[in-house]
Amino acid sequence: VHDDELHELALSFPLAVGGINAAVAAAATVTAGPVDRVALGAGVRAALADRFGGMAERVDAAVGWDDVILPPDTRDQLRALVARVRHAYRVFEDWRFPRGTARGGGVAALFTGPPGTGKTTVASLIAHELGRDLYRVDLSQIVSKWVGETEKQLGRVFAAAEAGHAVLLFDEADALFARRTEVKSASDRYANLEVNYLLQRVETWRGITILTTNLDASIDPALRRRLAAHITFWPPEHAERVTLWGRYLTTGAPVADVDLEALADDFPDMSGANIRNAALTAAFLAADGDTSITQELLERAARAEYRSMGRVLGGRA
């Protein structure tokens, strides 16, 4: 391993001596030859996995700008968020802009919108753009009925993420960052203490936190004041639905002459995830019948997806 590669690893993963020893030992187990940068990176991730202790899982998805279909305004907001991380030193140190309330220099962003609109995918995009790993926090392993245990677990997660310069993703963040309530019982007081701790930790840590929720109104207002960005994800418009249908059908599978405009018109309530599910179902139906993916199969699959969404079919659908 060259000196410049070791320098890059040291900057990317500010581990203590024990963490470095564990990472090197893990790296030696993934390669039969000399330990190189790839093996060291794998070893560092293994050491971080031990630190997370099952409370967060690495999301391994290399998503680029060409992989997401977004309105121009949303894309601009995301580019501004990435720029905020990349150029923080220039703006805050060289240009001496005030940091606002974020004492730790970190960045917190809230993504709101209906399910299937790409919030988690975009979190992967941001991590990939910044050259960092994305870890999804497992709330079932975090939240505890025992007093103080939730805060303790969260402290471990933030410490591990800080050591690995990781991006933390809290899916369904309203479960943790819920609006504080009037204290009428001991459980209310402890729930409010958990939210207070989270708000303080997000404000003081030096990394990137991405929160997603389908319930915008339930998020505590104090969190909003600490956000670098609040981005709303809307269901795709007609042109975006046409593009999504075309993208999911351009995979090398045999596709007959299909009418993407009709699909976008007949199923207007579909999100990107719904369109992906319908296209996949049509592909399995085509494989089962040893045929191409036809308009009829796509409409059958889309109708089934629409029913699963609880939507009423109308028009030609």
pLDDT one digit per residue (tens) for the chain, 317 residues: 567 666 666 655 666 676 677 777 777 776 666 666 677 767 777 777 888 888 999 998 788 999 899 999 999 999 999 998 888 878 878 888 877 655 556 788 999 999 999 999 999 999 999 888 899 998 888 877 777 788 888 889 998 888 777 899 999 887 777 655 555 554 555 556 667 777 788 777 878 999 998 877 777 777 777 788 999 999 999 999 999 999 999 988 999 999 999 999 999 999 999 999 999 999 999 999 999 999 999 999 999 999 999 887 765 44
pLDDT value at position 134?
Answer: 93
pLDDT value at position 301?
Answer: 97
Cα separation, 264 vs 107, in Å, equals 37
Contacts of 271 (CB under 8 A, 6+ apart): 114, 115, 116, 117, 235, 236
H or E, element range at 139: helix 139-142
Cα separation, 36 vs 29, in Å, equals 12
Amino acid at 8: E
pLDDT value at position 179?
Answer: 59
How far does CA 20 lie from the centroid of its chain? Answer: 27
pLDDT value at position 265?
Answer: 96
Which residues on adjacent β-strands are paired with residue 169?
136, 210
pLDDT value at position 302?
Answer: 97
Own/partner long-range contacts of 174-183 (Cβ < 8 Å, ≥24 apart): 174/213, 174/214, 174/215, 174/218, 174/219, 175/139, 175/143, 176/139, 176/142, 176/143, 177/211, 177/219, 177/220, 177/223, 178/218, 178/219, 178/220, 179/218, 179/219, 179/220, 179/221, 180/220, 180/222
pLDDT value at position 32?
Answer: 64
pLDDT value at position 215?
Answer: 79
**3-state SS class at 144:** coil
